[in-house]
Amino acid sequence: MGEASHPEVLAQFGMVQDTALQEYFSKVGTELAKVSHRPDLPWHFTIVDSPVINAFAVPGGYIYLTRGIIEYMNNEAELAGVVGHEIGHVTARHSVTQLSQQQLLGLGLGLGSILSPTFSRFSQLAEAGLSILLLKFSREDERQADELGIEYMTKLGYDPDQMSKFFQLFLTMEEGSGQAVPSWLSSHPTTPDRIKATSESAARVKQASTLRDFKTNANEFMPRLEGLVYGENPREGFVENGRFIHPDLRFQIDIPKGWKTENTQSVVIFSEPSGGAVVQLSMAPAELGQSPEAVGQNIGRLEGTQLLASKTERINGNQAFLGQYSVQSDSGTIAVLAAFISYGGHIYQLAGLAPTATFSKYASSINPVLRSFRELTDQKLLGRQPDRIKVYRARRGETLRSLANSMGQGLVKVEDLAQINRVDADKPLDTGTLVKLVQPGNR
């Protein structure tokens, strides 16, 4: 399961392109795995390129953290606590149990029942990979993973109190700003009872340990975040003024008003507000052909798929093939209107999908999306850059607010900086404390 889903996880998120940070994370994870109950598993540790606050484990020893969750950590002990928790899920075989149950129940991609299995396959998103992100562990599973994480981190001398402190952060986020619970905690939000349980467990483990000085290693951890992308990375696509814009691939697409966008490394989904229809954007696999017409015709020959009508034309100067398909799925017949467009050395696939019975209701929205694919020429948009973490050592009397103001952080809320540092924005910082600031990209 781990080997099968790992390429799919990377296809969806991509890896953070920071070799030193990846090696550091792998080193910490490997040390924790060695003191776990399954040290001989072929463990793999990867930071995936997503701003979502999440961490998850795949059977067989595949552990993932998002850059989003790492940006909220302030020391190595917090990192060890989260990683130890995920290792605990693997050693207790929680993930494999949940995956087996989901596969038996036939749960799919979680992108809406109308998304055709035929067309979803071309987006390179496999059910095995995405199922990992949908796991819902029981309270007992979470409790056991917490205890195992505390056990593992304490064996390496990390301060186990850091786990409950990290949980407290997310409880504060939820209560203070009304934000949704981060993905890592979505199945079982961090209640005061859970914080209390992990705090008490840490106290018991510390009392039984022969160590008296436990490490947090903030100075080891914090500098590793320097230059890390903060928040959404516009280089991988962003929505602005009713358009989806991709600077690196130099294209833009119009989005129907009110439709939602879900952007991953390998597919973009535009969904009608009520979930009645979607338009899926991806690159067509090379094995389907080297021209738009070849790709479109080959899809029509796949089992369960029928090409009803087609034509070749140019869409904003680009060679294109438009096909109307009928696709058989477990939930009934799906109508698909797809455009295959040759641009920038790739064949892009834009597929509008809806149940056949209701497709006509959405056709007037889907058609303009397919025909809006065009080159991006606006130099300001082409040059859009992400915000990045800047690690700073505080001087006497400085506050987070004064630092933000003096360094031109106006585009990033001081409240957000206070949250990722877990300090009062107006409280003087201890001299020499490392804090995370955000260097705004050009907008």
- Detail the DSSP E strand segments found in 220-287: 229-230, 238-240, 243-246, 251-254, 260-263, 268-271, 278-283
Q: Comparing C-alpha atoms, which of 113, 121, 103 is closest to residue 305? A: 121
336/389 same-domain check: no
The residue among 10 and 331 whose pLDDT is bigger is 10
Distance CA 395, CA 219 (A): 16
Nearest CA to 420 among 389, 398, 393? 389
**8 Å CB contact between 383 and 247:** yes
Question: Does one domain contain both 97 and 197?
Answer: yes
Q: 367 and 419: one domain?
A: no
373 and 274 fall within a common domain: yes
Same domain? For 172 and 203 the reply is: yes
The pLDDT of 340-347, averaged and rounded, is: 96
d(CA 68, CA 66) in angstroms, rounded, equals 5
Residue 247 CB partners (closer than 8 Å, separation 6+): 234, 235, 376, 381, 382, 383, 384
Q: Do 173 and 297 fall into the same domain?
A: no
Same domain, 324 and 429: no
Q: 274 and 355: one domain?
A: yes
Same domain, 149 and 113: yes
Among 184, 200, 225, residue at a domain's last position: 225
pLDDT, greater one: 318 or 6: 318
> Which CATH number belongs to the domain containing residue 269 in this structure?
3.40.1000.10
Please tell me whether residue 300 adopts helix, strand or coil conformation: helix
Domain limit, last residue, from 345, 365, 381: 381
Note down the domain range covering 66: 2-225
Which CATH number do you get for residue 413?
3.10.350
In one-letter notation, the amino acid at residue 441 is G
Shared domain check, 239 and 178: no
**For residues 223 and 439, what is the distance between their CA atoms, to the nearest angstrom?**
15
pLDDT tens for each residue of 96-145:
555 554 443 333 333 333 344 455 544 333 333 344 444 556 677 778 88
Q: What is the pLDDT of residues 241-252, one digit of tens each?
A: 999 999 999 999
8 and 122: one domain?
yes
Same domain, 361 and 405: no
Say what the pLDDT of residue 123 is.
Answer: 37
Domains held by the chain: number:
3
Query: What is the model's pLDDT at position 289?
Result: 87
How deeply is 79 buried, as exposed, middle or buried, from its count of CB atoms within 10 A (0-12, 13-18, 19+)? buried
Examine the fold and report which residue of 181, 202, 225 is the final residue of a domain before the chain moves on: 225
User: The pTM is what?
Assistant: 0.82
To the nearest 10°, report the CA torsion of 124, 127, 128, 130: 80
Rounded to whole angstroms, the Cα distance separating 91 from 68 reads 25
Strands in 346-355's sheet, in edge-to-edge order, are: 260-263, 268-271, 278-283, 346-355, 332-343, 318-329, 305-315
